[in-house]
Amino acid sequence: MMIKLRANHTFTLLLLTGIGMGAVAGLYLGNDAVIFRPVGEVFINLLFTLVTPLVFFSISGAVSASSDLKRLGKLLSSTLVLFIATGIVAAVTTLILVTLINPCEGMELPTIIYNASDRLRADTSFSLGDYLVRTVSVHDFSQLLMQQNMVALIVFSVFFGICVPLIGDRASVVSQSLNDIAQVIYKMISVLMKFAPIGLGAYFANLIGTMGSSLVDAFARVMLFFFPVALAYFFLGFSFYCYLAGGSRCVRRFFQYVLTPAMMALCTSSSNAAIPAQREFCNKMGVPSDISGIVLPMGATMHMDGGCIATVTKIYLICILFHIPWNTVSIFALAIFLAVLSATAISSVPGGGAIGSAMIVSMLGLPPEAMGILILVGTLVDPLGTMINSTGDSVVSFLIARILEGSNWMTRHI
């Protein structure tokens, strides 16, 4: 466990060090920092070329192998509904707060050559139905491989995965092949990410050199927004859920026992690493083992309340930096949709974080360079976000126990 903790923090520190050195170089060199641009662009381009095949093979492989979930019955359906519902609550809450607070209000916006609002204005002649059709489908197979059609590729991948079991005895071979290829691509991304401190360092040297210190100001403002909101969700949001699950007694016991599993998730930045501590936490709370045994492993891969908060925050920052109007119904709906999708369906596959970032870039019509900004924000918010993700899994298990066991579920098993 300690080796895993040190490994996670070593890479994070290296990544932040590389980005920090690049930022300093950009501030010092100014426009001359453009010499770093090729290195940064090569890294971002390689990442994007790997995301597209990863989307297809990982999602289709996961869907084709998930037929056994049908046997989980009421427990599974309740779990999935609560995963989505709590994700929506986290996303909507963040959306309201970031709109009201508007942390980047009054700052001097950096000058970005690419103006995504031009593309959005060009789309205004299309109806909502046209937009949905163009988002979830394409008229030619080759267009599925294009960056801007990421959602259509996901729809195709899910459809492909659903059809795999229908071919009979050969389905297991096809499913295994899809998952094997996904593992190869995931390994390629893992190897590529070892060069992220260099690639992203070069990328940010050029970015800050050409955009100026206002970009640093934007990051600082967004981080000062995210951390208080995330902590408020942890203390207030989870208290509310605990009260629904078991009244004031559940709230008291939650804060009595939550410290150890929360710190485990915070220090390792891994929901999976925190599962043993979360299981012990659930046992102390009185959650039946058959409930925690299903909810916690599922939640570690497909329930990310912290991820929802982070995704909405990312989209807000991207809209500000790329001059996309924020106060529009379409952007609000898109932010909630992407937050919940990234925190449930997409997070359950290898490389889900990269896929979620690629979807944001794709659906907002942004250039590939925007990926670097999303990666940096994701790195900065990851520890606290993981703590909320992991603890939220236990809180959902309390609610499931309330649904299946009744209002006195704690007294039955303590």
| Inter-residue contact 408 to 283 (CB < 8 Å) | no
The domain of 291 spans: 2-413
pLDDT of residue 131: 55
Question: What count of other Cβ atoms lies within 10 Å of the Cβ of residue 414?
Answer: 11
Between CA 359 and CA 342 the distance in angstroms is 9
| pLDDT at residue number 124 | 43
With contact defined as beta carbons under 8 Å apart, do 230 and 388 qualify?
yes
pTM of the model: 0.69
CA atoms of 275 and 225, how far apart (whole Å): 29
Q: What is the dihedral of CA 103, 104, 105, 111, to 10 degrees?
A: 180
Q: Which residues of the chain register pLDDT less than 70?
A: 1-9, 11-12, 62-63, 66-76, 107-132, 134-135, 147-148, 211-215, 267-270, 272-273, 345-355, 412-414
Report how many domains make up the chain.
Answer: 1
28, two tokens:
């010092």
The distance from CA 345 to its chain's CA centroid, rounded to whole angstroms, is 10
**Tokens matching residue 166:** 């229908």
Beta carbons of 26 and 204 less than 8 angstroms apart: yes
Angle of CA points 169, 175, 180, to nearest 5° = 140
Q: Is the CB of residue 323 less than 8 Å from the CB of residue 117?
A: yes
C-alpha dist (Å) from residue 178 to 37, 175, 196, 217, 351: 35, 5, 27, 44, 15
Residue with tokens 């499931």: 400
3-state secondary structure the chain: CHHHHHHHHHHHHHHHHHHHHHHHHHHHHHHHHHHHHHHHHHHHHHHHHHHHHHHHHHHHHHHHCCHHHHHHHHHHHHHHHHHHHHHHHHHHHHHHHHHHHCCCCCCCCCCCCCCHHHHHHHCCCCCHHHHHHHHHCCCCHHHHHCHHHHHHHHHHHHHHHHHHHHHHHHHHHHHHHHHHHHHHHHHHHHHHHCCHHHHHHHHHHHHHHHHCCHHHHHHHHHHHHHHHHHHHHHHHHHHHHHHHHHHHHHHHHHHHHCHHHHHHHHHHCCCCCCHHHHHHHHHHHCCCHHHHHHHHHHHHHHCCHHHHHHHHHHHHHHHHHCCCCCCCHHHHHHHHHHHHHHHCCCCCCCCHHHHHHHHHHHHCCCCCCHHHHHHHHHHHHHHHHHHHHHHHHHHHHHHHHHHHHCCCHHHHHC
Q: Tens digits of per-residue pLDDT, 248-300?
A: 999 999 998 888 888 878 766 667 667 778 888 988 898 887 788 778 877 87
CATH number of domain containing 95: 1.10.3860
Do 352 and 154 touch, CB atoms closer than 8 A?
A: no
Q: What is the identity of the amino acid at 205? A: A
Residue-wise pLDDT for 373-384, tens only, equals 888 888 788 888
| Length in residues, the chain | 414
What pLDDT, on a 0 to 100 scale, did the predictor assign at position 376?
A: 80
Q: How far apart are CA 409 and CA 414, in angstroms?
A: 9
